[in-house]
Amino acid sequence: MSETAKIAFVASKAEEAQRQLAEVAQRYGQTPAKDADVIVALGGDGFMLQTLHRHKELGKPVFGMKAGTVGFMMNLYRVDGLVERIRRAQESVLRPLVMQASTESGNVTEHLAFNEVSLLRQTKQAAKIRVSLNGAAKIDELVCDGVMVATPAGSTAYNLSAHGPILPLGSDVLALTPIAAFRPRRWRGAILRSQTEVTFEILDHYKRPVSATADSFEVRDVVEVTVRESRERTMTMLFDPEHNLEERIINEQFAM
């Protein structure tokens, strides 16, 4: 990548991110995302997820720089030497989850999730969910606040908060993690091969409604949700060699 590299800068609406956007665009120029060699996202982890979703059809690599309060998926912000940093950056290929959700009204929708697909109860009553793997029922009735399937990249986010395992990048596994499970009492979740198709059937869904969320896209009143890893779509994120995503995931397991 030369010093005249075509970079598309995108930023969250936060004041600091907008200040950074003006600074880097003046220094390196601004290219439309469809014509760029790389997309540079300025913000926090939430904005990075928005960027991945918004530009997933372009297949451009994304280099993030932190301007938000949470930046696990972001590099440090520095305006100097940006092109050289991008040239030296290490790639992390993300394979998103595909969520197919069927609702009480009969609608079927499909959405991608780079972090996790989560199911949550919509009322004060606990959800009752049958959990199947590749068509075989493994839990006939999971009584819980919810349940999620998380990717390795998303395993340090909501999944970790729900006491799920941290997964190394490239491990070809997914985390199946309950959220405040009441029964079975001793079930703490499972680590699955990435090729596993997970099906959630909502039991007694009229009385105990459940919503399903793929990253930040929510579908309410679901009756069945299937989750699988996409083999067709990938996104590439770029990280400084001294602070790459895989190293961050390893370090997170030793955080006190």
Among all residues, which ones are annotated catalytic?
45
Residues shown for the chain: 256
C-alpha torsion sign, points 247, 250, 252, 256: negative
Q: Which two tokens stand for residue 88?
A: 């030296």
Other Cβ atoms less than 10 A from the Cβ of 110: the count is 11
- Which residues are CB-contacts of 213 (< 8 A; sequence separation ≥ 6)? 117, 118, 119, 120, 219
229: which strand partners? 97
Phi and psi, residue 19, nearest 5°: -65, -45
Cβ of 79: how many Cβ atoms within 10 Å? Answer: 12
Report whether 113 contacts 96 (CB < 8 A). yes
Cis peptide before 168 (omega within 30 of 0): no
